[in-house]
Chain A
């Protein structure tokens, strides 16, 4: 089973709100990721945590703040977002397959609208 669970599925927030997106996997995967995806575009990497440490930050604005409380959980804290931040936010986790490839599995995403 390769299940990555994201909550909430949908979120509407104002520009002054603070909210959090949550992601959970219980497959023992070593790395977890946040992506942003706009309509008709491929996913854009935001952050990577490897063994619970932040390993990649793709120059994401500070209004997005990731947190990895433990190896199964990944949060994305949102504050003072802009309407252009409206998008599908995807979480992924990864592990090595039997042939030495690191395979990423995606959650269903949180569809975020910023008003």
Chain B
């Protein structure tokens, strides 16, 4: 089983749609969780940290479910500029400098 699993997509959605991505992780002791966004041939950029209580940043909402070991990202009112690959990232508690990346979920927003 992979340490961090994501549906690779692609998710093709129209502008204005709401889209949700899920990610599961295998190590129950994992402590830190993030969503990064990566555009084609660019570097990953931090989109959101994911806190236990859930957090929202504008159109983006992240949730953490420790019991089921999954993280979600909800994007409301999708824009063309949201088209990118979304990487689910987990920090293992016993090696604090090492991030484990999911394979990414590709989102394509069309007009």
A residues sitting closer than 8 Å to B (CB atoms) are 31, 33, 41-43, 45, 48, 50, 55-56, 88, 90, 94, 97, 99, 101-109, 111
Question: Taking CB as reference atom, which chain A residue is nearest B31?
Answer: A101
**Residues of chain A within 8 A of B51, CB atoms compared:** 99
Given contacts A99-B51, A108-B43, contact A94 B97 (CB under 8 A): yes
State whether the Cβ of B67 lies closer than 8 Å to any Cβ in chain A. Answer: no
**Max chain B CB contacts within 10 Å: which of A31, A41, A45, A111?**
A45
B76–chain A nearest beta-carbon distance, Å: 24
Given contacts A41-B103, A42-B87, A42-B103, contact A106 B96 (CB under 8 A): no
Given contacts A108-B42, A109-B43, contact A99 B49 (CB under 8 A): yes
Question: Would you call B102 and A42 a contact (CB within 8 A)?
Answer: yes
B residues sitting closer than 8 Å to A (CB atoms) are 32, 34, 41-46, 49, 51, 87, 91, 95-99, 101-104
- Bound-state CA distance A43–B100 (Å) is 9
Secondary structure of the A contact surface, majority rule: strand
- Bound-state CA distance A101–B103 (Å) is 22
**Residues of chain B within 8 A of A88, CB atoms compared:** 41
- Bound-state CA distance A63–B90 (Å) is 29
B97's partner among A31, A43, A101, A106 (CB-CB below 8 A) is: A31
A43's partner among B34, B49, B95, B101 (CB-CB below 8 A) is: B101
